[in-house]
Structure 1
Amino acid sequence: MKIKFLSFILLIWNISIFAQKESPLKTKDFRVQKAWVDSTYNAMNLDQKIGQLFMVDIFSSKSKAETDRIKDLIKENYIGGVIFSKGDPMRQAKLNNEYQELANVPLLIAMDAEWGLAMRLDSTYAFPWNMTLGAIEDNNLIKKTGAQIAKHCKRLGVHINFAPVVDINNNPANPIIGNRSFGENKENVTQKSIAFMEGMHSEGVLSSAKHFPGHGDTDVDSHKSLPTLDFSKKRLDSLELYPFRKMIKAGVSSIMIGHLNVPALEPRTNFPSSLSKPIVTDLLQKKLDYKGLVFTDALNMRGVADYDEPGEIDLAAFLAGNDILLISENVPKASEKIKQAYLENIISEKRLEKSVKKILSAKYKVGLNHYQPVDTNYLIEDLNNIHNDVLYEELLENAITVIKNNKGILPIKNLDKEKIAYVNLGENLTETSFLQQLKKYTKVDHIKSDHLGGLLEKLKDYNLVIVGYHKSNSSPWSSYKFSDNELVWLHEIARNHKTVLSVFARPYAILDITSTTNLEGIILGYQNSKIAQEKTAQVIFGALPAKGKLPVSLGKNFPVGTKFTTPSLKRLSYGLPESVGVNSAKLNRIDSIAKIAVDKEMTPGLQMIVARKGKVIYQKNFGYHTYEKNIKVTDSSIYDLASLTKIMATLPLVMELEEQETIQLNTRLKDILPIAVNSNKANTTLKEMLSHYAKFRAWIPFYLHTLSEDRTHASPKYFRSKKTGIFNVPVANNFYMRNDYQDTIYQDIIASDLRIKKEYKYSDLPYYLLKNYLEHHYNSSLSYISRKRIYESLGANYMGYLPLNRFHKDEITPSEIDDYWRFSKIQGTVHDQGAAMFGGVGGHAGVFSNANDVAKMMQMYLNKGTYGNIQYFKPETIDKFNTCYYCDEDVRRGVGFDKPQLKEVGPTCGCVSMTSFGHSGFTGTFAWADPEEEIVYIFLSNRTYPFASNRKLITENIRTHIQELIYESISY
């Protein structure tokens, strides 16, 4: 007897713990709300009261005859609500307004917008599915998602979103829930459901927990048949009902009853839960003490519709305890059935009043006591603003999950030691966003073949393979399974190579893989959206850390909660301006300046990159390689960097030696260059030279001495059209210089007069001498040294000297039509004449690159010498070279780096910090970094094509005007 009494006490305590203290439909001005509800109810006749119980569906894409049918139901049956389905937002808004105009009591408007309005409407936004969100550990992000979706609902005049799905999906074979669930861990599902709900409530939109009592562990779609939950009461109470109890306590606005056969809760055989009084009334409303709205799931679904005739089903659903009958198959017939039951005292006035007043309370809570029509002005724009993408990016950055990471293969670290291939499986077998993003970090080759043998043969030379498995992102129900053929290919690739698998599909796809032993890394992107692909690539290369946690179990090797947190390697990431405090609308104003530059033929084309806080937020290309407009500028177009070479190649090598104490800033030329010992430059220090404060001449036109006397052609004394004997220095196409002339150039520099006055004068000459020193010190070419010591490990595979050795000519923008010395089109060989006379490898010019790789170098400097987990320089070294030592003498330069102007005229917009630094190049290039605002700005062009006399880009200050707009776009 004591045991029974104790059990009773525990039951009462359990119910009281989870009981809803008051209705979730109650507002702060409860008395005013009650007065409106009572007066509205009392003004209704019986037909109008019954009409409130019905919420009918309409596709805004349907014909006028179909949409007019709803008007008839409003006028003749007094329906209480409408659930909109497929269509477009503008037509829905107009129909909404028309329907509301006809209603005596404003209609409660609903939608299924579990992952946003795009679940039903075109031209609207789709947020990640719940399964993706289930991988996120920060539930504040789930709340933000619920709030953002609610904003869209509210803007479109939707009052209740049938979300969140709180079903615990612990059955991989579930055909209808799956991605719609937050996962299989009941606590994770519950907390995320509550967070999502709170977000919706914060924006004044009602929530709905579905599908009571739990649709997760089923393998039948209730749209097509009646699923069975054949579990004990104990199991149901501890698992399926758990999130519902918690949601009730947290104040969920409504609960939707699923069409399910639950023998443990309903004794009648194959009896739908939506028609079951023991489930809807006794369990939900009495035992769980739920006081909010109770919806049936759609009554036209076969899981319930097959049970009885239209009308009879509606009556049974109402008698079971449901408040709103969703998508009745026959409203007039159902209304008549309910009315007849009322008149026969089967339905009491109290019972009808209870449901109708709950419905009216919900209408008051969403403001329908002061109904306002939907404003259609800028509707599409408001539903698709930039904040959606910012949130989506943040969600994916937190969701992407690494579930296997043998030997810490992720993130990929030593780029100079990896030769990487990419293989695409699944769908979208062309160049994916994933592959494009991978290529921004290092050289990644897309390997394809029609048969496995051919593929494996092509992969022999690679030591790392990234496999991207892509499936349709069109809906959460899309096919996600590997084909048998794909499983064989994946097995053979992994058996023969170090392999990382990236899955852009439902995580259950992993279950098809018989053995994952040979896969070194597995990363889940969950969805095949562009953002998911890009962010996954960024995690793979350490631009972003992996933060996600597996929301479901994938066999014994990957239990629910599996995660490997990977570090950030301080490589550039890529994203939206707003994520780092920049206004994208303002930033995009630079487009117009770039277009003007191209349209007015200041340059044939250009590349631009803007990064802030380590994230590239703007990467665009304009124009063509030439004015003939045959080849468009793309991310991979390669430009002659001209004087950017100074800080891309020579300076970092000098910094490295200074850090190693091989040289010092006060080291004199005579100490490192024997040819300078007895010259007028013997005591010139590196600091003076690199600050352009050494009285050197600006430049010497060495090439002029090699022309014929009438200057109409190059002298055969110095040049040949074919490589022979000592004529082996390639200057241009079919243009070879005698190799001993380089010694003459060095002698000319050493013997040149110094300027009389010691003042700031920009000069290329120090970098000729530093090239000589560096190549002798390393006993190698500057081209090889810079590539091996910097570019390869940086992942700057587009950057380097002599680009024709690595790229097709059409990938390289031409820099000039030389009609004064080389008499040819200069494309792929350096524009600068002096650097050309050193075979294209100069200390001051000769490096080619795209903007993306220049940005890596500048970001490394901005990171105080660190990039990709490699410390190239100590922070104090960066500071030492980024110091203006002679500012008091009106010398703005740092040591090698250019600095902002000290007076009105200079290299920048005048709006940058004095700690900022960079350089510009003669061909129309510019690179600048600002530590205070954490901005990197890269501008590459070939303004010298076809003729260097075109100075419009410079005289119009295009590069600095753009820089000014960048700074104006900073919002915080």
Structure 2
Amino acid sequence: MRLTVAAICLVASSGTLCCATDRVLKHGSPESVGLLAQPLHQLPPNLTQYTHPANYGSASHNEVHPIQPGGTVVIGHQSTIVSSFAFGNASLYADSNGTLLPAHEWIPAKMDTIYDMASLTKVFTAVAVLRAIDEGKLSLDKSVASYIPDFAINGKDNITVLMLLTHTSGFPPDPLPGLYDPSYTTMQQRVDAIIKHELVDAPGSTYTYSDLNFMNLRFLVEKVTNTPFDEYVHLYTSELGMTSTFFNKGNNQSPSFHYFARMAPTEYQIEVLGDSEPQRPQPVRGTVHDENAWALNGVSGHAGLFSTAGDVAIFCQMILNNGTYGGTKILKPETVDLMFTNFNTAFPGNEHSVGFELNQSYFSGPMANLLAGGHTGFTGTTLVVDRASDTFMVMLAHRVHANRNWSSNNIIREAVGYWVARSLGRDVAFP
């Protein structure tokens, strides 16, 4: 874990694939970039079947439920969008038990539907950290406490920036109590709870996926850039032309909110989890589903971003372009290499780079390999960027509408990887 940045870059650059660095996305047929068309034609009806209630085995917890009500998908290969479609519905249910809304109130999923990205936010946070590194304001090897002295409390003085990024800091999965607990009466109390939180393991000794890591990265970025986190992220997403990507700072839940009509509702949280949940209109719509991000005024490093599949596709292509898109340089090529370098060799099965999980079949299916980086979000979102085949896969969805306990949508994530692998001519088994 104590690699120097120079050593990291040397290791990472040895695996860099040479691609044109200023490729802009365009639409084209699968055949135009050497793919088989039929598998991609089969993708929309295959995913649509999962919107119907059925017993999908472990995916629906052996009960009759839909996996998700709908979603939006964009597949890109060699800077060409070869498949893009919406399926199912964005709004469908009247309660957490699955009572359907009157048919005239259903809202179909569309290409411009805005989804709660949940933990896909972490990838955008990682890019914010990498930009601060490129600006000379951060170092992966330095301790977090060297930037935020209060972070050293409770034995955290030796935790590095890299440990936060790779979930090897020793933090528990979530802050305890949750930041929305009534015991917190001010925002500063919530901030202090994050920065001063106790560990459950020795730093560097184990891998534990923790939202606390990325909550702290938000404060780290703000400290070294002297810029509010949401604004710092917006600086680069706006440069990329991602016009529908934002934090809902202030938790604006009014139907008059500029983006509200396009935002997919998520969960009837209070029905599902009880009155301890944040008190807000149900189903949750417009404000972030994640309760801790909501308690942080809608802005955090672990969750809070909203976006469309088309915007996320641009982000993915920027990474495949080694940090540049449309003439705009977001990251240095050697910095992008860090997103495809496995720093968790000590923890097999939990391969992780700066920002990406690597080689994970549960969301990549047969596309999984050490150069396939990606992430998932609790709401049902997924992105995969595969350097090996110059391909990306984006699926934004809201499987938590109307109830988080209905299903896991990993079965759909794997199915996307299967059909894309088939389009690449690979002989793979359906997950």
Q: Name the SS of the counterpart of 1:617 in structure 2.
A: strand
Task: Quote the residue 2:375 is aligned against.
Answer: 919
Code of the residue aligned with 1:638 in structure 2: it is: I
1:668 to 120, 123, 143: 143
Q: Indicate how the Cα distance of structure 1 residues 793 and 916 shifts in structure 2: closer, same or farther if over 3 A, else same.
A: same
Q: Name the SS of the counterpart of 2:404 in structure 1.
A: coil
Q: Name the SS of the counterpart of 1:774 in structure 2.
A: helix
Task: Quote the residue 1:544 is aligned against.
Answer: none
**Quick check: 2:25–2:317 contact (8 Å CA) kept in 1?**
yes
Following superposition of structure 1 onto structure 2, how do residues 486-497 of structure 1 map, counting pairs within 5 Å?
A: none
Task: Quote the residue 2:405 is aligned against.
Answer: 949
Following superposition of structure 1 onto structure 2, how do residues 732-881 of structure 1 map, counting pairs within 5 Å?
A: 738-747=186-195, 750-755=196-201, 758-788=205-235, 790-802=236-248, 807-819=258-270, 820=274, 821-823=277-279, 824-825=281-282, 826-881=284-339
Task: Quote the residue 1:126 is aligned against.
Answer: none
Q: Take 1:913 and 1:859, find their aligned partners in 2: how far apart are those partners?
A: 18
Residues 49-69 of structure 1: CA deviation (Å, up to 9, x unaligned): xxxxxxxxxxxxxxxxxxxxx
Following superposition of structure 1 onto structure 2, how do residues 686-725 of structure 1 map, counting pairs within 5 Å?
A: 686-703=161-178, 706-707=181-182, 718=185
1:958 paired to 2:412: yes
Give the Å deviation of 1:739. Answer: 3.0
Give the Å deviation of 1:647. Answer: 0.8
Task: Quote the residue 2:116 is aligned against.
Answer: 640
Code of the residue aligned with 1:793 in structure 2: it is: E
Runs (4+) of structure 1 exceeding 4 A deviation are: 803-806
2:384 to 925, 928, 936: 928
Q: Indicate how the Cα distance of structure 1 residues 770 and 946 shifts in structure 2: closer, same or farther if over 3 A, else same.
A: same
TM normalised by structure 1 equals 0.37
Following superposition of structure 1 onto structure 2, how do residues 286-365 of structure 1 map, counting pairs within 5 Å?
A: none
Q: Name the SS of the counterpart of 1:856 in structure 2.
A: helix
Give the Å deviation of 1:676. Answer: 1.4
1:580 paired to 2:39: no
Q: Indicate how the Cα distance of structure 1 residues 840 and 781 shifts in structure 2: closer, same or farther if over 3 A, else same.
A: same
Task: Quote the residue 2:45 is aligned against.
Answer: 592
Code of the residue aligned with 2:193 in structure 1: it is: I
Task: Quote the residue 2:11 is aligned against.
Answer: none
Q: Take 1:673 and 1:947, find their aligned partners in 2: how far apart are those partners?
A: 38
Give the Å deviation of 1:908. Answer: 2.4
Give the Å deviation of 1:703. Answer: 3.4
Code of the residue aligned with 1:659 in structure 2: it is: D
Following superposition of structure 1 onto structure 2, how do residues 364-379 of structure 1 map, counting pairs within 5 Å?
A: none
Code of the residue aligned with 2:31 in structure 1: it is: E
Give the Å deviation of 1:704. Answer: 7.1
Q: Take 2:362 and 2:86, find their aligned partners in 1: how far apart are those partners?
A: 26
Q: Take 1:921 and 1:812, find their aligned partners in 2: how far apart are those partners?
A: 16
**Quick check: 2:374–2:383 contact (8 Å CA) kept in 1?**
yes
**Quick check: 1:597–1:953 contact (8 Å CA) kept in 2?**
no
Q: Indicate how the Cα distance of structure 1 residues 808 and 677 shifts in structure 2: closer, same or farther if over 3 A, else same.
A: closer
Q: Indicate how the Cα distance of structure 1 residues 761 and 907 shifts in structure 2: closer, same or farther if over 3 A, else same.
A: farther
1:605 paired to 2:59: no
Q: Indicate how the Cα distance of structure 1 residues 881 and 962 shifts in structure 2: closer, same or farther if over 3 A, else same.
A: closer
**Quick check: 2:246–2:306 contact (8 Å CA) kept in 1?**
yes
Give the Å deviation of 1:926. Answer: 0.3
2:355 to 879, 886, 896: 896
Q: Name the SS of the counterpart of 1:908 in structure 2.
A: helix
* RMSD across aligned positions (CA): 2.3
Code of the residue aligned with 2:146 in structure 1: it is: D
Code of the residue aligned with 2:190 in structure 1: it is: Q
More helix by share: 1
1:617 to 70, 75, 82: 82
Give ranges in structure 1 of 5+ residues lacking alignment. 1-566, 708-714, 719-737
Give the Å deviation of 1:965. Answer: 1.2
Q: Take 1:576 and 1:807, find their aligned partners in 2: how far apart are those partners?
A: 34
Residues 303-323 of structure 1: CA deviation (Å, up to 9, x unaligned): xxxxxxxxxxxxxxxxxxxxx
**Quick check: 2:358–2:374 contact (8 Å CA) kept in 1?**
yes
**Quick check: 2:128–2:233 contact (8 Å CA) kept in 1?**
yes
Q: Name the SS of the counterpart of 2:73 in structure 1.
A: strand
Code of the residue aligned with 2:197 in structure 1: it is: A
Q: Indicate how the Cα distance of structure 1 residues 677 and 693 shifts in structure 2: closer, same or farther if over 3 A, else same.
A: closer
**Quick check: 1:900–1:910 contact (8 Å CA) kept in 2?**
no
**Quick check: 1:581–1:971 contact (8 Å CA) kept in 2?**
no
Residues 213-272 of structure 1: CA deviation (Å, up to 9, x unaligned): xxxxxxxxxxxxxxxxxxxxxxxxxxxxxxxxxxxxxxxxxxxxxxxxxxxxxxxxxxxx
Q: Take 2:278 and 2:52, find their aligned partners in 1: how far apart are those partners?
A: 29
Q: Name the SS of the counterpart of 2:419 in structure 1.
A: helix
Code of the residue aligned with 1:668 in structure 2: it is: S
Task: Quote the residue 2:394 is aligned against.
Answer: 938
Code of the residue aligned with 1:603 in structure 2: it is: Q
Give the Å deviation of 1:807. Answer: 2.7
Q: Take 1:699 and 1:742, find their aligned partners in 2: how far apart are those partners?
A: 13
Residues 397-438 of structure 1: CA deviation (Å, up to 9, x unaligned): xxxxxxxxxxxxxxxxxxxxxxxxxxxxxxxxxxxxxxxxxx
**Quick check: 1:641–1:848 contact (8 Å CA) kept in 2?**
yes
Code of the residue aligned with 2:353 in structure 1: it is: G
Code of the residue aligned with 2:370 in structure 1: it is: M
Q: Take 1:880 and 1:704, find their aligned partners in 2: how far apart are those partners?
A: 32
Q: Name the SS of the counterpart of 2:268 in structure 1.
A: strand
Q: Take 1:831 and 1:672, find their aligned partners in 2: how far apart are those partners?
A: 30
Q: Indicate how the Cα distance of structure 1 residues 704 and 868 shifts in structure 2: closer, same or farther if over 3 A, else same.
A: closer
**Quick check: 1:605–1:941 contact (8 Å CA) kept in 2?**
yes
Matched residues, number: 370
Q: Take 1:694 and 1:568, find their aligned partners in 2: how far apart are those partners?
A: 34
Following superposition of structure 1 onto structure 2, how do residues 218-297 of structure 1 map, counting pairs within 5 Å?
A: none
Q: Take 1:776 and 1:659, find their aligned partners in 2: how far apart are those partners?
A: 16
Q: Name the SS of the counterpart of 1:940 in structure 2.
A: strand
Q: Take 1:783 and 1:969, find their aligned partners in 2: how far apart are those partners?
A: 38
Q: Take 1:687 and 1:621, find their aligned partners in 2: how far apart are those partners?
A: 37
TM normalised by structure 2 equals 0.80
Q: Name the SS of the counterpart of 2:353 in structure 1.
A: coil
Q: Indicate how the Cα distance of structure 1 residues 667 and 907 shifts in structure 2: closer, same or farther if over 3 A, else same.
A: farther
Q: Indicate how the Cα distance of structure 1 residues 663 and 808 shifts in structure 2: closer, same or farther if over 3 A, else same.
A: closer
Task: Quote the residue 2:97 is aligned against.
Answer: none
**Quick check: 2:175–2:197 contact (8 Å CA) kept in 1?**
no
Code of the residue aligned with 1:693 in structure 2: it is: T
Code of the residue aligned with 2:240 in structure 1: it is: L
Q: Indicate how the Cα distance of structure 1 residues 703 and 678 shifts in structure 2: closer, same or farther if over 3 A, else same.
A: closer
Give ranges in structure 2 of 5+ residues lacking alignment. 1-19, 54-65, 93-100, 427-431
Code of the residue aligned with 1:619 in structure 2: it is: S
Q: Take 2:378 and 2:173, find their aligned partners in 1: how far apart are those partners?
A: 14
